Amino acid sequence: MTQPASFEQRFRDAVDLHRQGQVGRAMKVYESLLLEQPAHAELLHLLGVASLQAGQTQRGVDLIARAVSLKPTHAEAFNNLGNGYRSLGKSTEALSAFERAIALKPEMAEAHLNRANVLLDAGQAEQALTSAERASALQSNNAAMHVARGNALLALRKWTEAQGAFSKAVHLDPRAPGALLGEGRALLNLDNALEALERFDRAIVQAPNQGETHTYRAYALLELKRLNEALQSADRAVQLSGVAARRCRADVLHQMGRKVEALADYEAVLGAGHDIGFSRGYYLSEKLEFCDWGGLEAATETWVDTIKAGGALSDAFPALAMFDDAAFQRLCAERVASVQPVLRGVGALKAHPAGDRIKVGYFSSDFHNHPVSHLLAGVLAAHDRARFETYAFAFRRSDDAWKRKIETAVDHFIDLDSVSFERTVTIAREARLDVAVDLNGYTKAARTPIFAARVAPIQVAYLGYLGTMGADYIDYLIADDVIIPPQLRAYYSEEIVYLPWYQCNDADANAPGDAPSRRECHLPEDAFVFCSFNNSYKITPHMFDVWMRVLARVSNSVLWLYAANDAAARNLSAAACERGIAPERIIFADRVSREAHLARQRCADLILDTFPYNGGATSSNALRAGLPVLTRTGEAFAARMGASLLASLGLNELIAESDDAFESKAVELATSPSSYAAVKAKLSGVEHQPLFSAVAFARYLERGFAEAVSRHRNGEGPANIEILRS
């Protein structure tokens, strides 16, 4: 007669089943054994582990907790207890369990790994990195340890080091989806979208239903401008991940020009109670672009409160368009500066001997048919080649007439499209620049991390971003004393190069041709034509109210607007109706070539400037055509652009310091022929004013650069520089 198996034998058999992956069968044996020995610590522990594996998380935690109460020296049980707590979302209890396991068994790499992961879940990336580094040191041949280290480095925005960690993991396990995903993310942040895409594709082969990988694949394709493929990946990510991926799809749709659909996705993300990837700022930007003001005030207040409470911020630009608040704009800029990627592989900038000429590098994504090029091309061509050697570093490839104009205007034109951040730094440093001019700031396609790494001993912000950068690596900001008077100086982190006027202009670029007839522009022949050709996002509901009050007081008048999209036109017409203005009095300008647009401005009578983001190139184009601009000035940089232009032309009577003053002046100019004639007379021959001389501006700018370089070469730090009109 066969003797029944002993408890120990049945226990060993159950453990063998468990190791073979037969969790259900093992659990049945464990449970029968538990009836015989309910206080067996290892039995409780293994049944608890099996329960976790079977998805019975709370039961598993309860069983393992009983095990460690019976055997408080059981390090492995504490480690598994921590895993159970983490699955339940109890991070504090999980961390305590992992730390108990480590105290009992300091060389347990898995416990250090798990501690790193739970710390990362809690947003404690520095502490997570410490644990992950300990885990990878203990088990350097384990890919998971390097993945944890890479994830912590990603959270710390240390992209180069993160890529190194994930690369080790991929070397150890070429099919590990987490390692491939992580390396792809690091490469994407290092501006190497093509290699990133290859890693994401390999990760999807191994784990085809991981929504996060499809999301990042969409972003890589977006960077590569393969928009249709990016949308396909984003759609797949949404199928797999739901609302988390809709932010990605919104970004893709935005780039495709399908902005109504993009706005719906942004709304869905926020409606689900998330601000994934800083969606609220993008959502507000989209609403402004569509002039969709429903719920705008409440959404804006939430965004501001979040930022003031210390919330993360990736884009400071919306604050320029929404607020005349220089202190808040500085806060936003400083918050964005604080999260710029750190390029670890480039080292420090090395000093170089002074050359015969001062070397100035201009960096921009806008060396093509863009206002930055329209304004700057003549200045670049006007630089004194005997004293200055000029470089244009182009972040975006183009081959239009404006790119070619820039190319011939400088000594060296360097195409950096698709070049990584680190390689960009190396290339720029090889030029041995004295001055680097960031023409992007916090705008689209900027490469701010290269300036954080230093490409020149003197770094200057100009033209692209109208505000402080809030960054210690930008030494100077170019302005004038209208834009930054003494009482507003505290809102800028940079030293200021004060020029006689702020905005450069290229007279040839701004020269308007013959004007069409009003009939050709769909304008009434006998009405007073107010107009605004600024981008739709600059039209705020507050300033639109002022405009509508002007129309109400000037009965025989119309407002001629440029609307970048049909939705904005519809919303503005509806807003006019709501304010008692017949929709036919709002006339929308057709999209035409730049040359035709410059010429047709002469069909208008008065530009009504936007506020708080004034017109820049748009206003100088109008003034160059002899069209008066009425501006509303405030305290922020962007809210003082119009005043700067007008003051440089001696037209201070067109600068209003309040809504009431703006409204009254607009009505006066529309109803008093003598007042209007006096302003028009001042614009006679305006093209000969210094404001429109690229050569004059270049000389002043060069004096500013020369003084900054002289200070640096004399061992002096940056300081305010004032260049007086000569």
Q: Supply the DSSP string of 418-444, one letter for each residue.
A: T--HHHHHHHHHHTT-SEEEES-SSST
Out of 314-328, 366-380, 674-688, 708-722, pick the least confident: 314-328
Q: What CATH number corresponds to the domain at position 520? A: 3.40.50.2000
Residues 422, 424, 429, 431: what is their CA dihedral angle, to the nearest 10 degrees? 160
| Greater pLDDT, 93 or 190 | 93
Q: Is residue 279 part of a domain?
A: yes
Q: What CATH number corresponds to the domain at position 462? A: 3.40.50.11380
- How high is the pLDDT of residue 26? 92
**537, 296 contact by CB (below 8 A):** no
Whether the upstream peptide bond of residue 612 has omega within 30° of 0, thus cis, is yes
SS3 call for 574: helix
pLDDT at 88 over 80: yes
Q: Is residue 250 part of a domain?
A: no
Between CA 32 and CA 35 the distance in angstroms is 5
Between CA 219 and CA 203 the distance in angstroms is 15
Q: Is residue 229 part of a domain?
A: no
- For residue 560, give its domain range: 513-692
Do 517 and 501 lie in one domain? The reply is no
Do 524 and 484 lie in one domain? The reply is no
> What is the C-alpha radius of gyration for the chain, rounded to an integer number of angstroms?
31
Do 195 and 117 lie in one domain? The reply is yes
Do 179 and 302 lie in one domain? The reply is no
Do 487 and 563 lie in one domain? The reply is no
Q: For residue 364, count CB atoms less than 10 angstroms from its CB and return exposed for 0-12, middle for 13-18, buried for 19 or more.
A: buried
Between CA 500 and CA 726 the distance in angstroms is 9
pLDDT digits (tens, 9 = 90+) for 296-348: 888 888 888 888 888 767 778 888 988 999 999 999 999 899 888 777 678 89
Tokens of 570: 């519809």
pLDDT at 278 over 70: no
pLDDT at 17 over 70: yes
Do 45 and 185 lie in one domain? The reply is yes
**Cβ neighbours of residue 56 under 8 Å, at least 6 residues apart?**
none
**1 pLDDT tier (thresholds 50, 70, 90):** very low
Residues 542, 546, 548, 552: what is their CA dihedral angle, to the nearest 10 degrees? 150
- How high is the pLDDT of residue 46? 94
What one-character DSSP code corresponds to residue 629?
E
Q: Percentage of the chain with pLDDT > 90?
A: 77
pLDDT digits (tens, 9 = 90+) for 538-560: 999 999 999 999 999 999 999 99
Tokens of 549: 């009050």
Boundary-marking domain end, from 337, 372, 390: 337
Strand partners, 175: none
**286 pLDDT tier (thresholds 50, 70, 90):** confident
Q: What CATH number corresponds to the domain at position 148? A: 1.25.40.10
Tokens of 133: 């580094």
pLDDT at 504 over 60: yes
**325, 635 contact by CB (below 8 A):** yes
Q: Is residue 158 part of a domain?
A: yes
Q: Is residue 723 part of a domain?
A: no
Between CA 252 and CA 257 the distance in angstroms is 9
What one-character DSSP code corresponds to residue 123?
T
Residues 383, 503, 479, 417: what is their CA dihedral angle, to the nearest 10 degrees? -70
Q: Is residue 354 part of a domain?
A: no
Task: Tell me what the mean pLDDT of segment 208-216 comes to.
Answer: 96
- How high is the pLDDT of residue 445? 82
Do 549 and 577 lie in one domain? The reply is yes
Task: Tell me what the mean pLDDT of segment 487-515 comes to.
Answer: 88
Angle ∠(312,314,316) on CA atoms, nearest 5: 105
HSE-up of residue 154 (Cα within 13 Å, Cβ side):
23
- How high is the pLDDT of residue 3? 62
Tokens of 20: 């073979």
The length of the chain in residues reads: 726
* HEC assignment per residue over 45-73: HHHHHHHHHCCCHHHHHHHHHHHHHHCCC
Boundary-marking domain end, from 447, 477, 505: 505
Do 453 and 316 lie in one domain? The reply is no
Q: Is residue 226 part of a domain?
A: no
**279 pLDDT tier (thresholds 50, 70, 90):** low
pLDDT digits (tens, 9 = 90+) for 60-74: 999 999 999 999 999
Tally of structural domains, the chain: 4
| Greater pLDDT, 85 or 344 | 85
Position of tokens 């119009």? 642
* DSSP codes joined into one string, 514-541: ----TGGGT--SSSEEEEE-S-GGG--H
- How high is the pLDDT of residue 318? 84
Contacts for 37-40: CB closer than 8 Å, 24+ residues apart: 37/7, 39/70
Tokens of 216: 């990042």
pLDDT digits (tens, 9 = 90+) for 135-182: 999 999 999 999 999 999 999 888 889 999 999 999 999 999 999 999
Q: Is residue 353 part of a domain?
A: no
Do 385 and 301 lie in one domain? The reply is no
Boundary-marking domain end, from 505, 533, 554: 505
Residue 725: how many CB atoms within 10 A of its CB? Answer: 10
Do 72 and 194 lie in one domain? The reply is yes
Do 70 and 134 lie in one domain? The reply is yes
Q: With b meaning 16 or more CB within 10 Å and e meaning fewer, what string describes 493-519?
A: bbbbbbbbbbbbbbbebbebeebeebe
Between CA 280 and CA 296 the distance in angstroms is 11
Which of 128, 103, 110 has the alpha carbon at shortest distance from 118?
128
Task: Tell me what the mean pLDDT of segment 596-613 comes to.
Answer: 95
Which of 316, 258, 688 has the alpha carbon at shortest distance from 471?
316
pLDDT digits (tens, 9 = 90+) for 419-473: 888 899 999 999 999 999 999 999 988 899 999 999 999 999 999 999 999 999 9
- How high is the pLDDT of residue 390? 98
Residue 163: how many CB atoms within 10 A of its CB? Answer: 27
What one-character DSSP code corresponds to residue 468?
-
Do 595 and 475 lie in one domain? The reply is no
Residue 432: how many CB atoms within 10 A of its CB? Answer: 17
Q: With b meaning 16 or more CB within 10 Å and e meaning fewer, what string describes 703-717?
A: bbbbebbebbeeeee
